[in-house]
Amino acid sequence: MVPPPSTPSLDSQQIQQFLSSVLSQRGPSSLPYTEDSKWLIRQHLLSLTSRYPSLQPKTATFTHNDGRSVNLLQADGTIPMPYQGVTYNIPIIIWLIESYPRYPPVVYVNPTRDMIIKRPHPHVSPSGLVSIPYLQNWIYPSSNLVDLVVNFCSAFSHDPPLYSQRRSNPNPNPPNYGQQQQPPPPRVAAAGYPPSPYGRAQPSQTEDAAEVYRRNAVNKLVEMVHGDIIKMRKEREAEMEGLFSAQGVLRKREEEVNKGLKEMQDEKEALEQQLQVVLMSTDVLAGWVRENEGKIKNLGNNNDNVDVDEVFHCADVLSKQMLDCTAADLAIEDVVYSLDKALQEGAVPFDQYLRNVRLLSREQFFHKATAAKVRAAQMQAQPSPILIMNLGSLVDLHW
């Protein structure tokens, strides 16, 4: 029987406190795991001890093949193994190496003094190192310790890795290695050695060949199914990676479309505001036309008596001054244009052209300066806009 541990088993709360304590240590005494993996390691060990209370988390020194020693977490205890209707406990140690959980743990069977590792064994080396397909096909982050132990139990139940040593005692009790169910009374062999609950190293000569063939066929079938499942899982994971990439592209395109839609909405609102301004200006112009339409007809009937200077009446002195400055500015502009044409045709000498342009430009500058001062005074007074007519076109002056 597997001897009980020297320390009492920890309950769930004590295990949580222990893991929180050792994983939160900093400095030289901290465990060599990356910070982003410590939470996942804690969850894996809590799930394992909840499913298999016989496995207890500990810290111990692990020596690598190159002689390097490091302090690591381990799960030490026994796992159940059903065999021929009886459940036995297999002692194992699960070492969580520095690269866990991205890489699989290192697992050893830990036989007691009255146990021997079966040689040869497909999954256990003479040193006790365990190697099963689940370890060889470890996939981060889906692989975990609970599924690993389940695969151990399944593999060992088909081919137990340990068997008991023969002893000279003629009537010994059969070793049960922590069996959980009471086995039937053992039959004593002819030489006085008790049969092992795991079977001897070599199959019995009386074992049915059909039963051996059936068991081997089942094992082969299980391995094939396991390989197919691993292959399908890898294919599905690759497919999921492709879907995740496509999802990222679609999200980026969605952001671009939303950005373009927002810009179009902003442009629509700006155009609507401009349309409102145009409609308001149209209403103002239409009102002005209706108000002055009768005056235009009267002026048309009395063309001989029309005084151009009396067509428009300014509301105040500033408006009258602005009208005079604007009219003088435009008149000087027309005179300068006429002088340019006369100079090109040779009707005006060049020196006379320069003298007149200089005088006109000086006068035009003073008119523009006066108009600017009047406009500033009108902006402070903020009167309503006045519409004036100049050479048959409407000019909107705000003063």
For the chain, the structural domain boundaries read 12-163, 313-386
Q: What pLDDT is recorded for position 201?
A: 39
What confidence tens digit (pLDDT) does each residue in 115-125 have?
888 888 888 98
Q: What pLDDT is recorded for position 16?
A: 87
What confidence tens digit (pLDDT) does each residue in 319-367 have?
888 888 999 999 999 999 999 999 999 888 999 999 999 999 999 999 9
What's the number of CA atoms in the CB half-sphere (13 Å) around residue 108? 13
Q: What pLDDT is recorded for position 166?
A: 60
According to CATH, the superfamily of the domain at 12-163 is Ubiquitin Conjugating Enzyme (3.10.110.10)
Running DSSP on this structure, what letter comes out for residue 130? B
Exposed / middle / buried, residue 61 (Cβ in 10 Å: 0-12, 13-18, 19+): exposed
pTM above 0.85, yes or no: no
Taking every pair of Cα atoms in the chain, the longest distance, rounded to a whole number of angstroms, is 154
Q: What pLDDT is recorded for position 46?
A: 92
Q: Which amino acid is at 130?
A: V
Cβ contact 281:395 at 8 Å: no
Cβ contact 92:108 at 8 Å: yes
Cβ contact 146:47 at 8 Å: yes
| CA separation for the pair 370, 383 (Å, rounded) | 19
Q: Which amino acid is at 259?
A: K
| CA separation for the pair 110, 112 (Å, rounded) | 7
Phi first, then psi: give them for residue 83, nearest 5 degrees.
-150, 120
Q: What pLDDT is recorded for position 308?
A: 64
Q: In the numeric block, which tokens belong to residue 128? A: 């006790």
Q: What pLDDT is recorded for position 237?
A: 87
Q: Would you list the DSSP string of 146-195?
A: HHHHHHHHHHHHHS-SEEEPP-S-SSPPPP-SS-SSPPPPPPPPTTSPPP
Q: Which residues of the chain have pLDDT under 50?
A: 1-7, 168-205, 383-399
